[in-house]
Amino acid sequence: MALYVHKYGGTSVGTTERIKHVAGKVAEARSRGDDIVVVVSAMSGETNKLVAYAREIQEIPASRELDVLLSTGEQVTIALLAMALEQIGCPAVSYTGWQVRIVSDSVHNKARIVSIDTERMTGDLKAGKVVVVAGFQGVTAGGDITTLGRGGSDTTAVALAAALKADECLIYTDVDGVYTTDPRVEPRARRLDRITFEEMLEMASLGSKVLQIRSVEFAGKYNVPLRVLSSFKEGPGTLISYEDAKVEEALISGIAFNRDEAKLTILGVPDRPGVASRILGPIAEANIEIDMIVQNNADDQTTDFTFTVNRNEYRKAFDILEKTCQSLGGRQVTGDDKIVKVSIVGVGMRSHAGIAAKMFEVLAKESINIRMIATSEIKISVVVDEKYLELAVRALHETFELEREKLPSTH
């Protein structure tokens, strides 16, 4: 008998009809003789509604009380799903995060899981019940309710799968797997049968919205095989696991992109030790995350320093940088919030030379100017003008033949 953890997101449980549909899928899986633990999110739109209520009462809601409020969203869903399972003759029991004892640290609104007590769940599974657990929530050692931040239900599911030593963690969403790129940009995008944790981490961090980074990190750390499937469409989905020879055959697994980019440059600052720290220190103090960095040194002992931030932080970062420019005696600050980042990802890059050259050649052929470049062992990212996003993605997708079921070996 195998043990599976299912996770259903907000759209999958968005109405009572959809909750009944999920109950049917869970009962069918249970009828095959497998043990099932189900993790659910709040119904779609519910968390945003609760946040809006909080802000009507308090401009900046108290973080502890906000967690108490937000955790009610999942509590509604677990109860309704357990009822729906019982209604169709499938024994079930629901638990909040604190009933299961998903112990977290005490950082409200973005807590991290410390430990999970599996005794209660194991007992229910042995008794033949489906265990339904609220995602996104935990409890501190002192008994305060916490929430796990964005994508917290995915993290709950993976953490439970690790603690229970589940055979697989199935993440049910509104897409039927991980694609070579966003099908809305490239209609020929193909669903991948499998992808490595490492590649999925890069894809998630570079803009792919299928899975949250924390859940993929957790799965990789504890070697929990993840499968992304659709709640609404039958199919095998995409398996995310450790590297194997079959996955390595592909040079590139996918193309990720991020529209929320902006670029800032401080020109003509003195080229001396500590200048990078002087530039980025105030940005970090304002809690603005920096992504790509490029520094160009000139012959006149000055340097131009460029970095990217989230587009929402552009104006704030620009104002901070102007003050820094004055204090450092720099020439001026320039910026551009009409840029995007396009990245190719694949473990096959490790053993194949010339991928970057091929990527740059394709973009040059399409007259797309590259503003910045960043690389790692398994990814190459470029910053280009926003208007070229779709052209760049489609051209790269075609060049690396990602629409093909199996890429030809280049060994």
Q: What residues does 103 pair with on adjacent strands?
A: 115, 139
- Of the two residues 211 and 253, the one the predictor is more confident about is 253
Other C-beta atoms closer than 10 Å to the C-beta of 131 total 25
Token pair of 228 as six digits? 């992304």
Q: What pTM was estimated for this model as a whole? A: 0.81
SS3 category, 306: strand
**pLDDT value of position 217:** 87
Q: For residue range 142-195, what is the model confidence (pLDDT) as tens digits?
A: 999 999 988 889 999 999 999 999 999 999 988 888 899 988 899 999 999 988
Q: For residue range 367-383, what is the model confidence (pLDDT) as tens digits?
A: 999 999 998 888 999 99
Tell me: pLDDT of 411 over 50.
Answer: no
Average pLDDT over residues 245-258: 74
Residue 85's nearest CA partner among 160, 13, 157 is: 13
| Average of per-residue pLDDT values in the chain | 91
**pLDDT value of position 250:** 60
Q: For residue range 126-144, what is the model confidence (pLDDT) as tens digits?
A: 999 999 999 999 999 999 9
Query: In which band, very low, low, confident or very high, does the pLDDT at 408 lie, cut at 50, 70 and 90?
Result: very low
Tell me: pLDDT of 406 over 80.
Answer: no
Average pLDDT over residues 375-396: 93
Q: How far apart are CA 232 and CA 144, in angstroms?
A: 36
9 is in an annotated binding site: yes
**pLDDT value of position 407:** 42
184 is in an annotated binding site: yes
Between β-strands 168-173 and 113-116, what pairing exists: parallel, antiparallel or unpaired?
Answer: unpaired
Topology (CATH) of 3-174: Carbamate kinase (3.40.1160)
**pLDDT value of position 405:** 66
**pLDDT value of position 249:** 56
Q: For residue range 325-355, what is the model confidence (pLDDT) as tens digits?
A: 999 999 999 999 999 999 999 888 877 778 8
365 is in an annotated binding site: no
Q: How far apart are CA 38 and CA 309, in angstroms?
A: 37
| DSSP classification of residue 313 | G
228 is in an annotated binding site: no
**pLDDT value of position 298:** 75
**pLDDT value of position 243:** 66
Which sequence spans correspond to the domains of the chain?
A: 3-174, 255-399
The distance of Cα 410 from the centroid of its chain, to the nearest Å, equals 31
Q: How far is CA 362 from CA 359, 365, 368, in A?
A: 5, 5, 9
Tell me: pLDDT of 44 over 80.
Answer: yes
Query: In which band, very low, low, confident or very high, does the pLDDT at 203 lie, cut at 50, 70 and 90?
Result: confident
Average pLDDT over residues 93-119: 94
Tell me: pLDDT of 246 over 60.
Answer: no
10 Å CB burial of residue 230 (0-12, 13-18, 19+) is middle
Average pLDDT over residues 382-397: 95
Residue 131's nearest CA partner among 79, 162, 163, 92 is: 92
7 is in an annotated binding site: yes
- Of the two residues 177 and 94, the one the predictor is more confident about is 94
Q: How far apart are CA 223 and CA 133, in angstroms?
A: 21
Q: How far is CA 152 from CA 24, 117, 140, 160, 225, in A?
A: 25, 18, 16, 12, 18
Yes or no: say if 132 and 94 are a contact pair by the CB < 8 Å rule: yes
95 is in an annotated binding site: no
Q: For residue range 271-294, what is the model confidence (pLDDT) as tens digits?
A: 888 899 999 999 999 989 998 999
CATH superfamily name and code, 255-399 = VC0802-like (3.30.2130.10)
**pLDDT value of position 403:** 86
**pLDDT value of position 324:** 93
Between β-strands 254-270 and 302-310, what pairing exists: parallel, antiparallel or unpaired?
Answer: antiparallel
Tell me: pLDDT of 389 over 70.
Answer: yes
388 is in an annotated binding site: no
179 is in an annotated binding site: yes
Please give the sequence-ordered ranges of beta strands (E in DSSP) within 2-160, or none if there are none. Answer: 3-8, 35-40, 92-95, 102-104, 113-116, 130-134, 137-139, 145-147
Q: How far apart are CA 9 and CA 171, in angstroms?
A: 8
210 is in an annotated binding site: yes
